[in-house]
Amino acid sequence: MAKQQQRSPFVKFDDIPGSLPNSSVPKDADLDSIAQKAIIKLNHLQESDLASHATWRDLLSFTGTYRTFYSAATVLRTWTQLSQQSRRSVIRPKDDRKPRLAHGGAGITWVDVDFVFKAQHGTLPEDCMGTASLASDKDGTWRIWMLRTWLECFDGRGHPDVLEPAQATANGHVNGGHKPEPEVYGAIVVGGGQAGLSTGGRLKALGVPYVVLEKHGSVGDVWTNRYESLRWHTSKEYGNLPFGHSYPLEDDYMMPAKRIGAGQKQWAEKYDVNVQTGSTVKETTFDETSKIWTVGVSRSDGSQETLRAKNLVITIGTGHSTPVYPSWATPEKVEASTFKGTVVHAFAGYSSAHNWAGKRGVVIGTANTGHDIAEDMANAGMETTIVQRSPTFVFPAEWLHASEDRNYNPDTSAEVADREEFTYPNKILREVVNNHVWAGIKSSPERFDALEKAGFMLDRFGDTYNNLYVRFGGHYVDIGASARIAKGEIKVRKGPIKGLTEDGLIFEDGGELGADLIVLCTGFDHVFRNDAARIVGREVAEQMDELFGTDAEGEIRGHAKPAGHPNLYYHGGDVRMARFFSRFLALQIQADVLGQPLVPYLD
């Protein structure tokens, strides 16, 4: 019987505490004075300095993990206790960051003040940063309503955001290249996509011996082998890898898949990241005495290798590895049917609609992938229908891009942008995002009315964070398909499907829909332990926590932290999440390799 860890309970966002202030900053507010007083408060914090609904999120610096605390009394008690335990230094203002206004939507504003401090876990001195957010209370007193703190680096041990490009020399060697294979790596990273590359690059920056194992023949193949019309719906600056801007200005704003893959390969070469391609993990074992992983690797040339490491990191695409088929469209059911056309999954056989011009195309699913492929079919001259079973949250890409561009742009490094945005408590950032998105929806009803008039079912006021961190998708960032639906160029058919006929589909209501090509955009198996079991075995996989969904504090369960089994991590998420949390994952591994593993504060 496999040993099972106690799973972290899932908690809905609405049941997690934390809220935005209900105020705005007066136009004549003296931001410098507010900032000076904030630094004094932080060094001698009292409950009266905090708003009653105060929230504090810490990323490693005090807690050794990712924690969010709520209410003035809890924040004060925990801040005081952990300041003493970590031997926190005097807090000082960050000189190169001026106090500034922050906007929460719905007319809500506050003042953000950046600060720096030092702390220590074991013998490792830490350089840390934070941001205090202040709002004016009803009595006119400026109080801290939100705190964010995070570990920057271990003093004198490198920095996870700083790695110089490798430079070829006259004798053909590469400055800064990886060292000869060690007997025991600090970490083996399984998977060479955005999360795996980011983690490998940061481990190199920190001087931790590592290797990234990628099953594909080349870095970037995970993108270049997908359907041709695939592109990011987010901006290219949002999708940077660490250490600068990964893509040149002339690249498309929304990057096509082949260019994403090529950019990842160029990045890995630029920084000489130790990626071994054509490498599939066949088996792993963990020695409980030595705390060492042994990893059996099969190479594409037929050779076998055994590697050893203190830590194992799984970055194989969190819940995006195993396509899910509807019960009526499993390969076995399709094979046994009389259907004369073709059925493929979007991520297991579909390339493009180029060869289907004039034919009847049906897309099953109405999230990003479904819309992408429906538009690809329409562009190829197919008679296109998208099949929808439940309402879909749709929001225009230009709204998302306007939000992203404030921080993710050619003039701002991704590292600075991530600190500005992604250190927020998830519950708070969810409130900010929903405020902005819902305001846009209310002010532009006509574009959503047009979709509903065309027969498309809308979850008009959907929840972006619920889709990202609980459902793993299910929404559409509109890059053009909605207009095609509104114009009737992509038709909509609603309702559950009963099965295949000789000519197409039959629905449970008895209706039929002819098709020559059916593309299943029905997602993936999101139980990540099923994917992990193929690497670490079922017994170890059952010890792993749930992955994704929020816990009682609004933190993402099981992500980029010890996964329930010693020295085992999993890491992924969207491109920004993969990049940002790789820095904290690398710091945890560095501390372990240095013999001072971070001990999570679990009150």
Q: What is the mean pLDDT of residues 279-294?
A: 95
Same domain, 107 and 143: yes
3-state SS record for 313-374: EECCCCCCCCECCCHHHCHHHHHHCCCCCEEEECCEECCCCHHHCCCEEEEECCCHHHHHHH
Beta bridge partners of 363: 386, 519
CB count, 10 Å around CB of 528? Answer: 28
Average pLDDT taken over every residue of the chain: 92
- Residue 261 CA to residue 572 CA, distance in Å, equals 17
- Residue 547 CA to residue 544 CA, distance in Å, equals 8
pLDDT band at residue 172 using 50, 70 and 90 as cut-offs? very low
**pLDDT over threshold 70, residue 266:** yes
Residue 126 region by backbone torsions, left for phi larger than 0, else alpha for psi between -120 and 50, else beta: beta
- Residue 102 CA to residue 109 CA, distance in Å, equals 6
**How many domains in the chain?**
3
Same domain, 263 and 139: no
Q: Is residue 3 part of a domain?
A: no
CATH number at residue 435: 3.50.50.60
CATH number at residue 127: 3.10.450.50
**pLDDT over threshold 80, residue 3:** no
Q: What is the mean pLDDT of residues 308-316?
A: 96
pLDDT at 319: 61
CB count, 10 Å around CB of 493? Answer: 17
Q: Give the amino acid at 379.
A: N
Same domain, 536 and 492: no
Candidate from 187-201, 207-221, 223-237, 504-518 with smallest mean pLDDT: 223-237
Cα of 306 vs its chain's centroid, Å:
31
Q: What is the mean pLDDT of residues 399-427?
A: 91
Same domain, 196 and 54: no
**pLDDT over threshold 50, residue 175:** no
pLDDT at 511: 95
What confidence tens digit (pLDDT) does each residue in 21-62 have? 999 999 999 999 999 999 999 999 999 999 999 999 999 999
Residue 256 phi/psi, 5-degree rounding, is -75, 155
Same domain, 98 and 217: no
Q: Is residue 407 part of a domain?
A: yes
**pLDDT over threshold 60, residue 169:** no
Same domain, 106 and 249: no
DSSP label of 415: H
Pairing of strands 108-121, 124-136: antiparallel
Q: Which two tokens stand for residue 120?
A: 């220590």
Rg (CA), the chain: 25
pLDDT at 320: 66
**pLDDT over threshold 60, residue 1:** no
pLDDT at 70: 97
- Residue 80 CA to residue 327 CA, distance in Å, equals 55
- Residue 129 CA to residue 96 CA, distance in Å, equals 12
Residue pair 599/63 in contact (Cβ under 8 Å)? The answer is no
Q: Give the amino acid at 18.
A: G
pLDDT at 109: 96
**pLDDT over threshold 70, residue 176:** no
pLDDT at 229: 86
Q: Is residue 8 part of a domain?
A: no
Same domain, 191 and 290: yes
3-state SS record for 25-83: CCCCCCHHHHHHHHHHHHHCCCHHHEEEEEEEEEECCCCCCEEEEECHHHHHHHHHHHH
What confidence tens digit (pLDDT) does each residue in 564-600 have? 888 999 998 888 899 999 999 999 999 999 999 999 9
Same domain, 236 and 296: yes
pLDDT at 170: 47
- Domain end call among 119, 139, 154: 154
Beta bridge partners of 313: 189, 569
Q: Which residues neighbour 383 within 8 Å (Cβ) at sequence distance 6 or greater?
A: 358, 359, 360, 361
pLDDT band at residue 241 using 50, 70 and 90 as cut-offs? very high
Q: What is the mean pLDDT of residues 381-397?
A: 94
Q: Is residue 6 part of a domain?
A: no
What confidence tens digit (pLDDT) does each residue in 325-384 have? 999 999 999 999 999 999 999 888 888 999 999 999 999 999 999 999 999 999 999 999
Same domain, 345 and 238: no
Range of the domain at 442: 327-520
pLDDT band at residue 5 using 50, 70 and 90 as cut-offs? low
Q: What is the mean pLDDT of residues 151-161?
A: 96
Q: What is the mean pLDDT of residues 217-223?
A: 91
